[in-house]
Structure 1
Amino acid sequence: MESVIENIIEKSLENSYSYAEYRNLVANLAKKGASTGPEQNEALAQYTQLNNSRMKRWDKTLKFSDEAIAKIKSVDHKIKWVVLTESWCGDASPALPVISKIAELNTNISLSIILRDENLEVMNRFLTNGSMSIPKLIAMDTDEDTIVATWGPRSMKATQLVEEYRAKYGLLTPELKQDLQVFYNKDKGQSVLDDILKLLPLK
């Protein structure tokens, strides 16, 4: 079964993006007032514009500690990361810059980005509580050709915030989205970094 999933993922990479290519895609869509995906409306276009601004800021300001950098650079065999996302996804805008920066620090880690709605066969293999939640990172060991881990759609700390909100109010509201963005701005990518460091084969 796992080899079937790996073959599906490999096929999806024929239409994948590097991080730089994805950033260009989102920036161009933001200028045009559009978004990725088959559905086009004003709300998704506005989310795309917001995410483009947020990623631009994260790309410039994101910082890792010397300890984190040393851990990332210690990975000594090939890891392939595939991330499912869409331009309008609010949880992707703080996560993708962190994931990209990690991959930039070690040539053993490759990153490919694919769009969820163009790759539903992949997405449906990696649901979160039955939902097509994004971003979703799939980590593969290139040498062994196996899936070794997944991550997403949020860091453990952000997920805890969402679950506490759901327990208190029974549903997720626009106010929660605002609270999440406040959390992401204060967190500065650290919770995503902490989570993903645990997925790496560190010495």
Structure 2
Amino acid sequence: MEFLSHPVTLQVIEKAFSYPDFVRFTEQLVTENRTTGANQSQAYLDYTRMCLQRMNRWNKTAKVSSKMAQLIESIREPQIWLVITEAWCGDGAQSIPYMAKLEELNPLISLRIIMRDEYPEIMDAYLTNGARSIPKLIAFTQDLKVELFMWGPKPSYLMNRHKEYKHDAKGLPYSAFLEEIHLWYAKNKNHDLESELFPLIESTLLP
């Protein structure tokens, strides 16, 4: 058996959700008034409901630029895009639908989704500044022997804004901070996400 420098296996990929299956799974969770992970508080149930609404909205409205579409269509070797998230993850609900739009443009891309708390060994291999921040996108070659690129858990602007808030909230309640973040996502329309993913995807292309 060949040594892998990461804990992602083909068995994990086979068990993972496709994006449509993940949306249906989230719909089921909302119907049953539960969510993924150990925290089943009302707040997390509400987050999950909002995540479903946001995914459904982006499924209808997310746009891919012609430049990005050309890049995606130029991929000639199969790629597996693995996303680590949870059903209650607000940043995931804002970003993963756009990734799914990219997958739709090229059958060589396989977007697969796993839950963070079900695969702690995978999450711990892809920490962000020591934290289990999600969503995290890791792209692999089809045989999983090469990591092509990583992205996450959110666009750089929001990473910096979150860092500023943690350092000095300036009296802003966390609920108001979250509203600010999701308003930014709505106005940005995946522009920053696309801008950050473009060079990462471009780097995977053969010269």
TM-score, scaled to structure 1: 0.91
* Worse overlay, 27-36 or 179-188: 27-36
How do 1:1-203 residues align onto structure 2 when only pairs under 5 Å count?
Answer: 3-142=3-142, 145-169=145-169, 173-200=174-201, 201-202=204-205
| Cα distance in 2 between the residues matched to 1:72 and 1:172 | 40
Q: Structure 1 pair 172/95, CA: closer, same or farther in 2 (3 Å)?
A: farther
* Residues 45-66 of structure 1: CA deviation (Å, up to 9, x unaligned): 1000000001000000111221
**Alignment partner of 1:112: what SS?**
strand
| Cα distance in 1 between the residues matched to 2:3 and 2:81 | 16
**Which amino acid is the alignment partner of residue 191 of structure 1?**
D
**Cα shift at 1:93:** 0.7
- Verify the 8 A CA contact 1:6 1:146 in the aligned structure 2: no
| Cα distance in 1 between the residues matched to 2:7 and 2:43 | 35
**Cα shift at 1:156:** 1.6
- Verify the 8 A CA contact 1:72 1:197 in the aligned structure 2: no
| Cα distance in 2 between the residues matched to 1:144 and 1:181 | 34
Q: Structure 1 pair 34/180, CA: closer, same or farther in 2 (3 Å)?
A: same
**Alignment partner of 1:169: what SS?**
coil
Percent identity among equivalent residues? 33
**Alignment partner of 1:174: what SS?**
helix
- Verify the 8 A CA contact 1:19 1:100 in the aligned structure 2: yes
Unaligned runs of 5+ in 1: none
**Cα shift at 1:77:** 1.3
**Cα shift at 1:78:** 1.5
* Worse overlay, 53-62 or 190-199: 190-199
Q: Structure 1 pair 172/141, CA: closer, same or farther in 2 (3 Å)?
A: farther
Please give the root-mean-square deviation of Cα atoms over the aligned residues, in Å: 2.1
**Alignment partner of 2:154: what SS?**
coil
What is the number of residues matched between the two proteins?
202
**Which amino acid is the alignment partner of residue 35 of structure 1?**
T
| Cα distance in 1 between the residues matched to 2:144 and 2:86 | 29
Unaligned runs of 5+ in 2: none
- Verify the 8 A CA contact 1:5 1:125 in the aligned structure 2: no
* Residues 56-104 of structure 1: CA deviation (Å, up to 9, x unaligned): 0000011122122111111111211111110001110111101111111
- Verify the 8 A CA contact 2:6 2:125 in the aligned structure 1: no
| Cα distance in 1 between the residues matched to 2:194 and 2:155 | 9
- Verify the 8 A CA contact 2:7 2:125 in the aligned structure 1: no
Instruction: State the 4+ residue runs in structure 1 displaced beyond 4 angstroms.
Output: none
